[in-house]
Structure 1
Amino acid sequence: MSKLLQPRLRRRVLVTSVAIIVLITSALAGVINQLYSQSYMAAYSSELVAQMPMVVAQLNRAGLIKDVDKWIDSVDPSDTDYMSVVCDMTDYTIWMSDEAEEANIGNICSELPEDIPVPTLIETENNGSFIAYNMSRDREGGNIYQLVVLRSGESYQSSLDQLHKRTTFYLGLFVLIAIAFLIAAFHWSFQPLRKLAAQLDQMTEAQRDKLDDDFPMELQDVTLALNRLIQISNDQKGRYRHAMDDLAHSLKTRLAATNALLDDKDIACPDLNHRVMEQISQMDELVQYQLKRAMMGQQGLQKDQTELKPAIDSFSRLLSKVYSDKDVNLGYRFNHKLKLPINRNDLMELLGNLLENAYRFCISEVRVCVDEHDDCYMIRIEDDGPGVCEEMREAIFQRGIRADQLNPGQGIGLSVCHEIVESYQGTIHVETASIEGAAFVIRMPKH
């Protein structure tokens, strides 16, 4: 129902175009109707004139006009602007009325067209204009004579000129009005496109995050695609920003370990070089991992099986150097050949953050336990430190939130762990450990 109520661009253009067509057609119909009315009236009048002899004959036959000659003599021919001429077959004027002689029309018959079925405007050689009509055609003694009625065409010409001017004026007025309506119609019809352009400009200036949803249906696919594209771009920017934060957080531990190695005077030079190169290699892997994660997202990383024990041993050696002031006992409780269904880089990132937190907050003991079930692995990383208070146990997995406000940090590590575990459809939460500290519990599905 909501789609039916949405404005349509085609509907806008259609409605406005139909309205303009109806308006112009109605106006033109009025003008044409007026012109046809005048033409019809002229034709009707000419038909009446043509039938006048028949009417006189009918009246005479009926005895209504007793003496036609007397009736004709009673008519004053000077009280009219009509003139009469009789023409023969050679277009010679053999007779003309007194009014025609006074008008000095000359041999008008030579200038008449061959057939005059309706009143016709003619121009004479002396620049005169007349309306001529063939009243009758008679044959006598082998000759054909035609009676032509004439009338001065000056008033008709003047009226015709005025009619042309009025018609031109009104048609021009109609065209101007139509253009104005068309401009207004296009302005209204394409207002959604201007709105779309304005909103895109606002987005380029960071004044809005997405396009509105109230565009016409013809633009819905475009706006939805643009919103998806913008969302993808924003997600990618967010991934790059988070990847750089995660990279900085991960490199911090490696750099601390490298500094600890360089400060240890008891390590022989060849062994020191080997360990430093190992840290550099791990940092290079971290950079490549975070860049790939930023470009493809967590779901784009290859899933494989990774041994748990070598990864923990690597961090044990690293963190023992970083926290050399503590005598930390790292305990294991899992099959040393155990492989987890997780990408190696993801596992290193996950263990690195959790073990680094455990070493930082523990007093002297850290434990790693894994229980295998039919459909998942339950991984527990415990320490005997102060633990995490109930109020912070969910918030600490949000980016930028830290349970420990006394020591420096950005609150990134646990949010990274949460993102990695979620990408494998797993879960992570924190509870109280059996050794009274914090226990981070991960449920990792087997498939």
Structure 2
Amino acid sequence: MKQFIQPRLRRRVLITSVAIIALVTSALAAVINKLYSQSYMASYSSELVAQMPMVVAQLNRAGLIKDVDKWIDSLDPSDTDYIAVVCDQADNTTWLSHEADKANLKNVCRYLPEEIPTPTLIKMGGDKGYIAYNLSRDRENGNIYQLVVLRSADSYEKALAKLHQRTAFYLGLFVLIAVAFLIAAFHWGFQPLRKLAAQLDQMAEAKRDNLDNDYPMELQEVTKAVNRLSRISHDQKGRYRHAMDDLAHSLKTRLAATNALLDDKTLERHELNQRIMEQISQMDDLVQYQLKRAMVGQQGLQKSNSKLMPVVTSLNQMLSKIYADKQAKLHCNFSDDVMLPLNKDDLMELFGNMLENSFRFCISQVRISVEDTNSYITIKIEDDGPGVKPDMREAIFQRGIRSDQLNPGQGIGLSVCHEIVDSYQGKIYVEESELEGAAFVINLPKLND
């Protein structure tokens, strides 16, 4: 579709521009021809005016003008006759010169217009052309006579034909040059579109992430919209990738808990089935939660208050099975009715990662404290493990970074916690615990009722 529209658009604009140039140059050529025609006509008429004394001398020899001074004869010493006729008001030829008679112009008066613009071009039989000049118009005995001097228009028509040829040649040359410049201008003018198409192809092939910002103003809105779409698509892919990583990380803990349950020989079959069904239910909730995060992002999830104790109790049962060899104790320094400004899924994901991290590194105990202030709720999760080195206390919240290299893991859990807390405009940081291990502190603003 793109290949069909773009050439059609270019062709339409190009044809329109060429048509405009052709119309303008044709009009210009017509004006030039008109001006040159008038110039030639004026030149010929000036020659006719210069011949007037000779015509008068010819009339004198014919006896039509009797009282003419001798100096007129000296003006025309040759025997050349001039084409001249006298016409009456009925367009009859009353007199014609010798040259007019030789040229068989006896009926020339019939071809003359009633009012002769001086000078004028007339056509006789056989397309023979003459330039006519109305010398005088007299009235005698009620009749109107006019003296007309003529000259062959052969040289005029030849010169005019050459003028037309030259005009056509230069007109064609001008059009070719104009079209060449126009094509070059179009090539230059459409360069941003070619660049845009090339960069879009590169984006489609994943060779670049966005378009350049140096496009003409007419294309700025288009390029900005494409870049916005590219960023949205890139963010969407990133959310899906992170969600799948987070899901794998969370499922790994649940699978470890399931394996621990299967290895526990002290559980009755009914209780074992119930515990496994709880893990499966939690896995299903995790899948739904991560898919929702992938689609709408962490900011798009619904915010609400949730009870902390049921979540901590469920996680404690699961982690106690996974890390049964440590026989770690979880101390909860908060009441059973404590509510945190997190929805249930975020609360489960946040404390699941935090407690799994604490159980993994602790020696024998983990402690959770909750403090309610005027506008914030502060949660502190402590363990008696090796703690976190000061130079790693900020880096461990980045995706893929772990404070230790001895234990297995991908460095995802704490980054997920940071993303969840950040989506609630809260803060999370790590400090040294009174238990001589790590203390993770979370400050969450209360939700508006």
- The TM tier, using the shorter chain, reads 0.7 to 0.9
Distance 1:79 1:316 in 2: 140
Pairing of 1:300-311 with structure 2 (within 5 A): 300-311=300-311
CA 1:142–1:28: 2 relative to 1, 3 Å: closer
Instruction: Tell me if structure 2 keeps the 8 A contact 1:381–1:439.
Output: yes
Larger RCO, structure (CA 8 Å, separation 6 or more): 1
* Pair 1:93 & 2:86 matched: no
Distance 1:52 1:126 in 2: 27
Instruction: Tell me if structure 2 keeps the 8 A contact 1:78–1:99.
Output: no
TM-superposed deviation, 1:384: 1.0
Pairing of 1:432-443 with structure 2 (within 5 A): 432-443=432-443
Instruction: Tell me if structure 1 keeps the 8 A contact 2:387–2:432.
Output: yes
Pairing of 1:243-262 with structure 2 (within 5 A): 243-262=243-262
Instruction: Tell me if structure 1 keeps the 8 A contact 2:25–2:171.
Output: no
Pairing of 1:115-134 with structure 2 (within 5 A): 115-134=115-134
Runs of at least 5 residues in structure 1 that lack an aligned partner in the other structure: 1-16, 58-66
TM-superposed deviation, 1:284: 0.5
Query: Residue in 2 aligned with 1:380?
Result: 380
Distance 1:31 1:123 in 2: 22
SS at match of 2:303: coil
SS at match of 1:399: coil
Query: Residue in 1 aligned with 2:60?
Result: none
Query: Residue in 2 aligned with 1:350?
Result: 350
Query: Residue in 1 aligned with 2:145?
Result: 145
Distance 1:152 1:47 in 2: 15
CA 1:115–1:393: 2 relative to 1, 3 Å: same
Instruction: Tell me if structure 1 keeps the 8 A contact 2:430–2:441.
Output: yes
Instruction: Tell me if structure 1 keeps the 8 A contact 2:48–2:133.
Output: no
Instruction: Tell me if structure 2 keeps the 8 A contact 1:81–1:151.
Output: no
* Pair 1:445 & 2:449 matched: no
CA 1:51–1:156: 2 relative to 1, 3 Å: closer
TM-superposed deviation, 1:333: 0.9
Instruction: Tell me if structure 2 keeps the 8 A contact 1:31–1:167.
Output: no
Query: Number of residues paired by the alignment?
Result: 421
Query: Residue type of the partner of 1:238?
Result: G
TM-score by length of 2: 0.86
Runs of at least 5 residues in structure 2 that lack an aligned partner in the other structure: 1-15, 57-66
CA 1:80–1:337: 2 relative to 1, 3 Å: farther
Give the fraction of aligned pairs with identical amino acids, expressed as a percent.
64
Pairing of 1:282-321 with structure 2 (within 5 A): 282-321=282-321
Shifted more, 92-101 versus 401-410: the winner is 92-101
Query: Residue in 2 aligned with 1:8?
Result: none
CA 1:28–1:88: 2 relative to 1, 3 Å: closer
Instruction: Tell me if structure 1 keeps the 8 A contact 2:331–2:368.
Output: yes
SS at match of 2:69: helix
Distance 2:168 2:79 in 1: 36
Query: Residue in 2 aligned with 1:396?
Result: 396
Instruction: Tell me if structure 1 keeps the 8 A contact 2:305–2:341.
Output: yes
CA 1:82–1:290: 2 relative to 1, 3 Å: farther
Distance 1:231 1:131 in 2: 81
Query: Residue type of the partner of 2:355?
Result: L
Pairing of 1:413-428 with structure 2 (within 5 A): 413-428=413-428
Query: Residue in 2 aligned with 1:5?
Result: none
CA 1:384–1:51: 2 relative to 1, 3 Å: same
Shifted more, 366-375 versus 94-103: the winner is 94-103
Distance 1:74 1:205 in 2: 98
Query: Residue in 2 aligned with 1:336?
Result: 336
Query: Residue type of the partner of 2:294?
Result: A
SS at match of 1:324: coil
CA 1:438–1:126: 2 relative to 1, 3 Å: closer
* Pair 1:42 & 2:31 matched: no
Query: Residue type of the partner of 1:84?
Result: A
Distance 1:136 1:350 in 2: 117
TM-superposed deviation, 1:263: 1.9
* Pair 1:235 & 2:203 matched: no
Query: Residue in 2 aligned with 1:368?
Result: 368
TM-score by length of 1: 0.86
